[in-house]
Homo-oligomer: A and B are copies of this chain.
Amino acid sequence: MNAQLVAVLGRGVVDPETPVLYADDAGLTRGDGCFDTCRVVHDGSSARALHLDEHLARFARSAELLDLPVPDLAAWRKLVATALAAWPEPGEASLKLILTRGPAHLSGAPTGLLLLTVVDGAAQERARSGLRVVTLDRGYRSDVFATAPWLLGGAKTLSYGVNVAAKREATARGADDVLFVSTDGYLLEGPTSGLLVAREQELVAVPTGATGVLESVTVATAMAAAWAAGWRTSEELLRPGDLSTCLGTWLVSTVRGVCPVLELDGAPVPQDAGLTARVTEWAGF
């Protein structure tokens, strides 16, 4: 069992071995809610959550897209501070915030939960040393979310079953991770990560919005730092074949960090250790 801390909005830290959710919570019965995940670093004396403002802002945007009550960010901040103060584990942890529409028998009472979990350092290290990735059809055109907001593009929802199934499919194919591809042939994102690609003095990310791709805090952080370092930054729809002529490709996420893509569907993808180190630093890892 991973070391874990559980806190409930409006209650504070609770015993992680005590159930906290009603059976009729819409977050469970309908995946009707959103979440966000921060990286936590404990330096031995105290724990802090990185990019908390950006994650809270995205959490609030997800809630808005789901037409959930606006999260009280001051209350969430206080809950995060309480949880971090109570968190004893040195090293890295993931901090997950969850907001659901709440139990059916208590109309209009959303559920707010916080989960702190120790990061599996060995798995993180393996991923950062490189990933064999397979492309999987996401089933959507790259522009469908422009006209179909009910498909919840760009929201980090609890209805994450397809992402979990895609990861299982990757494992079944002997790969480490997935890059979703639109039905019109464009690279989108991983099930739990964003995509970054380097060309000569240029860092490329996938456009959000119509693609349904989630606004990645890690992608944005790396892009801003690359721009500050004098690189060009651009948003562009890329095809799988485009990666073979790039200088480097990475799947990036809040906790796992910057992971070079070594192989796509069995074919090697160009990589450069120096470039990976640079992008890793830009992303704040």
Contact = CB atoms under 8 A, between A and B. Distances in A.
B161 A157 contact: yes
A273 to B, nearest CB: 32
Given A16-B23, A20-B21, A67-B168, A151 B162 contact: yes
A274 to B, nearest CB: 35
Interface residues of A, number: 61
Contacts of A136: 148, 150
A8 B163 CA distance: 27
Given A25-B21, A31-B31, A165-B66, A148 B139 contact: yes
Interface string A85-101: 00000000000101010
A4 interface: yes
A158 B20 contact: no
Given A105-B16, A117-B104, A66 B4 contact: no
A18 B197 CA distance: 49
Contact of A160 (B2, B30, B150, B165): B30
A183 interface: yes
A100 B159 CA distance: 13
Contacts of A139: 139-141, 144-145, 148, 151
Contacts of A164: 26, 30-32
Interface in A141-155: 141, 144-145, 147-152
B117 A24 contact: yes
Is chain A's interface secondary structure helix, strand, loop, or mixed overall? mixed
A28 interface: yes
B159 A161 contact: yes
A217 to B, nearest CB: 19
A28 B30 contact: no
A21 B24 contact: no
B137 A147 contact: yes
B20 A6 contact: no
Contacts of A106: 1
Interface of A: 1-2, 4, 6, 8, 16, 18-33, 35, 66-67, 96, 98, 100, 104-106, 113, 115, 117, 136-141, 144-145, 147-152, 157-166, 168-169, 183
8 smallest CB-CB distances across A and B, nearest first, come from A159-B161, A31-B31, A159-B159, A21-B21, A30-B160, A150-B165, A31-B159, A19-B19
